[in-house]
Structures are given as C-alpha cells and as structure tokens.
Structure 1
Amino acid sequence: MPDFAPSVPDGTDGVDLCAPFLLHLPVNGAAVTMFGGASAETLVCSSGAIATRLDELQFDLGEGPRWEAARTRQPVLVPDVHSPLPYSWPVLSKALEKTGVAAIFVYPLTVGALDLGVVELHRTTPGSLSTSDQSTAAVIADETAWHLLRRVLSVNSPDTDPTVDTALMSRREIHQATGMVLAQAGTTATEALLLLRAHAFAKALTLRETADEVLQGRLSFAPHREAPGRPGLQ
C-alpha cells in the first residue's frame, strides 16, 4: 500500500494535510475541516480560494454533502453539481454556480468510533472518481484522521511523554482495555491506546474511567462504516 503520509509544511505542525489528496487524486482542490476539540469547527487546511469558499458556503448555509458525510460517516460523492437529479441541498446548489465547482467528493475523517472532521474535494469539471480513486481517497482520509487525532492530543493531552504511556500500559485495566480496542478497531496497541486517550479527552474522563467503559461493554471502537461510498444529491 502506498504511503500517503502528508509531508508539505503548512505553518502549524509542519505538514499540509491537503497535499496528498491533490497529489494522488484527479481533483482540483481540497479542504480539511476538524470538528470538536477546543473549538466547534476548525479549517485545518485549504488548497486555495475555491476550496475555502466551498467549505465556508456549507458552513454558513448549514447544508451540503459535508454535513451528510459527517452525519452518516459515509463518503458523499457528487460527480456533477449541475445534474438535473433532485438535489438534497437546493440553496447550496444555487450558490455553487458562482464558484466554478462542478463536482464534490466529501470523505468523513473517523478513527474507530471518533468523528474528527471531513475532507472536501472538488473538481472544476464534472466527473466521477474511479473505483481505484475512491479507494485511494479512503486510504488518505484514514491517514489524515489519525494525524488529526495525534495533533489534538499533542496539543491538549498532558500524557505526551513516552514514559507516561509506558506507565499507563503497566496498569492492568488499561492494558486489558487497550487489547479490546486493538481487536475492535483492527489497529496496533499504540494506536489503540491513542484511541482511549482521545475518547477520555473528548469526554472529560480519566483514562482509567474510559478503560472501564470498554471493559464493561459500554464503549466500543469498532468502525461503523458499511460501504466504501455512495452517490450524493439523491
């Protein structure tokens, strides 16, 4: 599998999360927006004015494929925003006439049960993403979601020292919960602990309290995706 880890400086933590989408996909623009955390919503990166405007329009109007992708945790693919098919977002569709956007592809950014944000891709000419391109977009979106999770925790979590992680892993309940999360999310032990820490941070819980929820079966990190994608504007 190709390595899609972002590597272009963006002026914050040294990477541009939009760059891999532009490099590996037939799209003209990208924007990554993060939900939750210290603010209700943050535009993490944008490839240009059109991508920024597309993000702003959906936020201002409260409708659009990005909201559906966030709600359903499924990609929303709109190969032609001017299609005669009945639109789900009539106000946005009218506003898009002045932007030059002809196609929109939105992927949710999720890690296990955590919803971190969305990536909004667009083209200035109509056209679908191939099956291969959809798979590539999903892989990059997963990489982006993990990066956002690490970014949030590195800024907001006090447990950033590796020695702290080692101490936490020595506690039996957290060790057991980490193993369960590892199996649920199909990830590594390090990433499973990261998921536990992220949930604890988001819910204002201690790591031990979060681990107890997992052990008692009240919390699961199993992904909820059912399909690789589906058409939008239906």
Structure 2
Amino acid sequence: MELDELIGVVNEVAASLQLPMDLEATLDRITRSAAEATPGIDHASISVTTKGGRIQTLAPTDAVATRADELQYELRQGPCYEAVAGEPVVQVDDLATDLRWPEYGPKAAAEFGIGSQLSFQFHAEPNVRGALNLYAGQPDQIDGETRQLGEMFARLVAIALGWGRHDETLSQALASRTQIGQAVGIVMERYRLDPDRAFAFLVRVSQSGNVKLREVACGIIADTVAKANGR
C-alpha cells in the first residue's frame, strides 16, 4: 500500500473515533483496515477480557481469525492469549515450528493456514485489557513495518474502547459477536457451507442490503426460532 493510501486509511479510521461513535462499526473498520493496510497480513481480530475473566473476540475480519482466536482461548496458549495475559508484544515467524506453543502452532498452521502471527496488548480506560491480533497466511511475513503499523492500529483500538466504552456498549458488542457466531452456525447447517463461506454469506447479505451484520444475524436467528416454533 502506498503512503498516500495508508494516510487515507488512518484518516478514515481516526474520523470514526469522533463521539458519538458506533463502537462495533468502528472496531470493524479498524481490523479491516489493519488487514488491508499491513503488508503480509491476511486476517485480524480484537481480543478483550470480560469482567468474569473470560476472553472474547470482537470485530474479526473473517472466520479464520475467529477460529484461531477461540483455539488459543481453549488451549490457553498462543500469541493472542499471551498478549492478553501480560506480554506487550508477541511475535511468531513460523507458527508450525515454534516450540512455545506445541499444540496451538501446528494445529493453527494445518487447519487454518496461518504461517505467522503478531499480537499487541492494549489497555483502555477504565479497565479494558485486550490484544489486537494480526495473522499472515505465510511464514516470515512480519518485519519492522508490520510491527509499526500493528502498534498504530492497536492504539486506535485502545482509543475507541476508551472513548466509546461504557459497560452497556461493550456488552452490546460482545452480544453481537455471539449472535453472529450463532448465525454462522445456522447458515453452515442450512446451506452445507464451511465456516469461512458461511461468514462470507452473512457479509454479502449485509453489504447488498446495506444492513449491519448484527442485524442480519438477528434476522436469521429469529427466522430459525420462528420455524422451530411452527410459525
């Protein structure tokens, strides 16, 4: 991406940080921009800790990011998990062979096609802690430029959560994430699609109808419940 294009991306994201903001849309824009603007990066997501200590994913760019995040939460290992737990920056150049994560690394490389990964811890007032996660499809994709851009986008996430975050707002964002996951499962079963294609299906419906992804997911869930109740 050329410098003027990158500046345009940053300006667009920064403009979305003006109050009042749509937190979900702003975080989606940041992760999408991070994946598009950072050389070598194919997927991005945000991990946040909840009051109960659980970790959840916000604003994944696709199903690969979601599944990779959730595998790290389940195994309690991986760059994403370690960044949330306390490491400021966690980088892995070859996920399949890195000895730090003997379960997560080989499985993520084989099942999700992830070659390298980078996670940045962030803190947002008053008490949000999390990480921006960047995934590359090939090994050895992370260099100094990748780290600089990733750190910049992580700061934007912290600003968005710090400025726009109220308990109710974050709860709504987490609820949206759950609803989208439920809708992906319904679409997978209904149309016999894998997770990536089911997620892409929801995105296409959202874009073609100019409707938020959360609203598309809620509509699919409501339709499924209505059919199950015979209405």
TM-score interval, smaller chain: 0.5 to 0.7
Percent identity over the alignment? 20
Q: Following the alignment from structure 1 to structure 2, what is the Cα–Cα distance between the partners of residues 6 and 12?
A: 13
Deviations 1:132-191 (A, max 9, x none): 22112111101111212233327369xxxxxxxxxxxxxxxxxxxxxxxxxxxxxxxxxx
Alignment match, 1:75: 89
Deviation of residue 6 (structure 1)?
A: 7.6
Deviation of residue 38 (structure 1)?
A: 7.4
Alignment match, 1:145: 158
Task: Please tell me whether residue 126 in structure 1 is matched to residue 135 in structure 2.
Answer: no
Max Rg structure: 1
Of residues 39, 45, 66, the one that matches 1:31 is: 45
Task: Identify, as 1 or 2, the structure richer in helix.
Answer: 2
Task: Please tell me whether residue 98 in structure 1 is matched to residue 98 in structure 2.
Answer: no
Task: Please tell me whether residue 88 in structure 1 is matched to residue 100 in structure 2.
Answer: yes
Query: TM-score with structure 2 length normalisation?
Result: 0.57
CA gap 1:142/1:12 in 2 versus in 1, 3 angstroms = closer
Structure 1, gaps ≥5 residues long = 158-234
Deviation of residue 50 (structure 1)?
A: 0.9
Q: Following the alignment from structure 1 to structure 2, what is the Cα–Cα distance between the partners of residues 93 and 50?
A: 14
CA gap 1:62/1:80 in 2 versus in 1, 3 angstroms = same
List, as ranges, runs of 4+ consecutive aligned residues in structure 1 with deviation greater than 6 Å: none
Contact 1:31 1:121 in 2 (8 A): yes
Alignment match, 1:218: none
Deviation of residue 39 (structure 1)?
A: 7.3
Contact 2:116 2:137 in 1 (8 A): yes
- Total equivalences in the alignment: 153
Deviations 1:14-59 (A, max 9, x none): 3213122113202000011111347733321111111111001101
Contact 1:79 1:129 in 2 (8 A): yes
Alignment match, 1:43: 57
Structure 2, gaps ≥5 residues long = 1-6, 17-21, 171-231
Q: Following the alignment from structure 1 to structure 2, what is the Cα–Cα distance between the partners of residues 68 and 14?
A: 26
CA gap 1:35/1:132 in 2 versus in 1, 3 angstroms = same
Alignment match, 2:14: 5
Task: Please tell me whether residue 53 in structure 1 is matched to residue 64 in structure 2.
Answer: no
Q: Following the alignment from structure 1 to structure 2, what is the Cα–Cα distance between the partners of residues 148 and 129?
A: 26
Query: TM-score with structure 1 length normalisation?
Result: 0.57
* SS class of match (1:47): coil
* SS class of match (1:82): coil
Q: Which amino acid aligns with 1:110?
A: H
Task: Please tell me whether residue 66 in structure 1 is matched to residue 75 in structure 2.
Answer: no
CA gap 1:151/1:29 in 2 versus in 1, 3 angstroms = same
CA gap 1:13/1:54 in 2 versus in 1, 3 angstroms = closer
Deviation of residue 127 (structure 1)?
A: 1.8
Alignment root-mean-square deviation, CA: 3.0
Q: Which amino acid aligns with 2:25?
A: G
* SS class of match (1:59): helix
